[in-house]
Amino acid sequence: MLNKVLLAAVLFSLTLISCQEGGPLDGRGGDPGNGEEFLMLSIDNLDEINIETGDETKEFDIEYPVESRMENGKCEAPHSMGKHGKKHRKGDGLKVLFKTLDLNNSQKESMKSFMEAYRDCAKPSFTDLKDLHKEYKAEANAERKVIIEQIKAGEITKEQAKDEFKAIHDATKEAMQSNEDRAEIIETIKKCRETLHESIASILSAEQLELFNKWLAEKGS
């Protein structure tokens, strides 16, 4: 039976992902479970579409899913504010979980293989998703430039321009939501993550598996 104190400590630790040197997200600790191959990032916001509306002074910006921002393994604060004022966790706690599960050497090596397979599986899709977001951003800002020119030429007022900017925002979001290619890319990433979870579960003891499933439930994955 799981120790309640240990379980509480684990669940709390999953919200505290350190970016200090030698911490859980640092790749220089020497432990097979402490290298960059274990950098796992939240994809909880994968389905969300966050667009910052452009105006006369700033361009439209489309926020990428959290995981795609960390392709180079660069570490930031455990929680940082995104461009849209949302708090983003720069890791999903798997490294902390692996450490707490007290994995044996064989499990650590298996974990390393699973994580590498996941990154190989998901990275192309994250690249595709990022490129797709760039295309929509470029289109929105091309339309914004037309409106700016119309304001300068006196063809529309600044108040009318506000409605036009909002229309671009809404049309862009709707187009992204209905884009079948985007939906397919996201589904591929989710399947990669599901495969990772299944692989991890296959090598855990009953006690470790209970803790892992608890973690998944907390994450809502």
**To the nearest 10°, the Cα dihedral for 59, 65, 73, 76?**
70
Q: Supply the pLDDT for residue 69.
A: 40
Beta bridge partners of 88: 80
Instruction: Please give the chain's pLDDT, 221 residues, in tens.
Output: 444 444 444 343 333 333 333 333 233 333 444 444 444 444 556 778 889 999 999 999 998 765 434 333 343 433 333 444 444 344 445 666 777 788 889 998 998 899 899 999 998 998 999 999 999 999 999 999 999 999 999 999 999 999 999 999 999 999 999 999 999 999 999 999 999 999 999 999 999 999 888 887 876 55
Indicate the helix (H) or strand (E) that contains 131. Answer: helix 105-152
Residue ranges of domains in the chain: 4-219
C-alpha distances in Å from residue 45, one per residue of 50, 64, 154: 10, 9, 41
Cβ-proximal residues to 57 (8 Å cutoff; 6+ apart), any chain: none
